[in-house]
Amino acid sequence: MSNHDSNTSRAVGKNIVETAAANGSFHTLGKAMEVAGLTNILKGNGPYTVFAPTDAAFEKLPKGTLENWLKPENKAELISVLKYHVLPGRTSAIEVGKLTAPKMMQGQAAPITKDGDKLRIGSATITEPDIASSNGIIHAIDAVNVPTKH
């Protein structure tokens, strides 16, 4: 068995929330998911595809944005933003590249584009694709996508 196979099989035992926590790059996302009350959904059966903004992606937000989202009175907006990063089903990066505007859990479509060999969703580039979990897949992204307000 190759190292890649053993890493994949270890990851498969952990759900999306556990896999993201073990990765080490998604502490801010984990905290936001907890505040929004979405961790139980992402621990469920799924499957889900999560376009996960890294901690560095959250740091790129305008000053005060994340802090405002984390306030109890802004929970609905936080939930909307986070669900805009979740695609129902297990979709690999290769499959994502075949999509043009998948409908996210939040309800809006997110544009998928290719920039050379880079795959983008909204304004974010996928920086680490295909992180396997037991109930879906995670693609690390370098920006936080914000859905348009209606």
Q: Provide the CATH number for the domain around residue 83.
A: 2.30.180.10
**Alpha-carbon dihedral of residues 1, 140, 16, 42, nearest 10 degrees?**
-160
What would the mean pLDDT of 53-59 be, rounded to a whole number?
A: 98
- Tokens coding 24: 């080490």
Domain that residue 10 falls in: 3-141
Q: Point out the least confidently predicted range of 2-11, 33-42, 62-71, 73-82.
A: 2-11
Task: Classify residue 107: in a domain, yes or no.
Answer: yes
- By C-alpha distance, which of 122, 124, 125 is closest to 147? 122
- By C-alpha distance, which of 131, 125, 102, 148 is closest to 53? 125
Task: Classify residue 150: in a domain, yes or no.
Answer: no
* pTM of the model as a whole: 0.90
**pLDDT exceeds cutoff 60 at 9:** no
Q: What is the pLDDT of residues 82-122, one digit of tens each?
A: 999 999 999 999 999 999 999 999 999 999 999 888 999 99
* Gyration radius of the chain's alpha carbons: 15
